[in-house]
A and B are shown apart, each in its own frame.
Chain A
Amino acid sequence: MLTPFQKLLYNGFGSRKVLVAASGPCLRTFDYSSGHIISRWSYLDLDAPAGNKSSDLHDEDDAPPRKKHKIDSGNASDSVSTEILIENGSGRQKPRRNGFAAPCITHLTATADGRHVVIISGEDKAIRVLEMTEEGGLHQFSKRVLPKRPSALTLTPEDQILCADKFGDVYSMPLLGQTIEKASNVDMQDQEPPIDELFKPAATSKTVHTKHNLRILELQQKQKKTKKASTTELQFEHNLILGHVSLLTDIASVRLQTPEGRSRTYILTSDRDEHIRVSRSVPQAHIIENFCLGHEQFVNKIHVPSWQPGTLISGGGDDYLLVWDWRTGTIRDKLDLKSLLAQSQTNTGETTTFPISVSGIWSVETMSGSGSIIIACEKMNGLFTFALSSEGQIIIGQSIFKQLSHNVLDVAIVQHEQRIVVSLDIMHRPGSGEITAAHDHSSFVVVLHLQSDGTWEEMKELIAVNTHAQQTKEVLTESLDPTVWSGVFYNAEHLRKRGPLADAEEEL
Chain B
Amino acid sequence: MVRLIASLVGAAFVFVLGLALFGTVSDWITNPPPESAEHEFHREALDAGLPSNGVLGRFDRRQVQRGFQVFQEVCSACHSLKYVSFRDLRQIGYSEAEVKAIAKGWKIEQPSINAETGEASTRPNVPSDRFPSPFANEVAARAANNNALPPDLSLMAKARHNGANYIYSLVGHGYVNQPAELLRKFPGAKTPTGLHYNQYFANLNIAMPPPLTQDGQVTYSDGTRASVDQMAKDVSAFLTWTAEPNLEARHSAGFAAVIFILIFCFLAWGAYQNVWRDVKH
Do A and B bind?
no
Which residues of A are in contact with B by a Cβ distance under 8 Å?
none
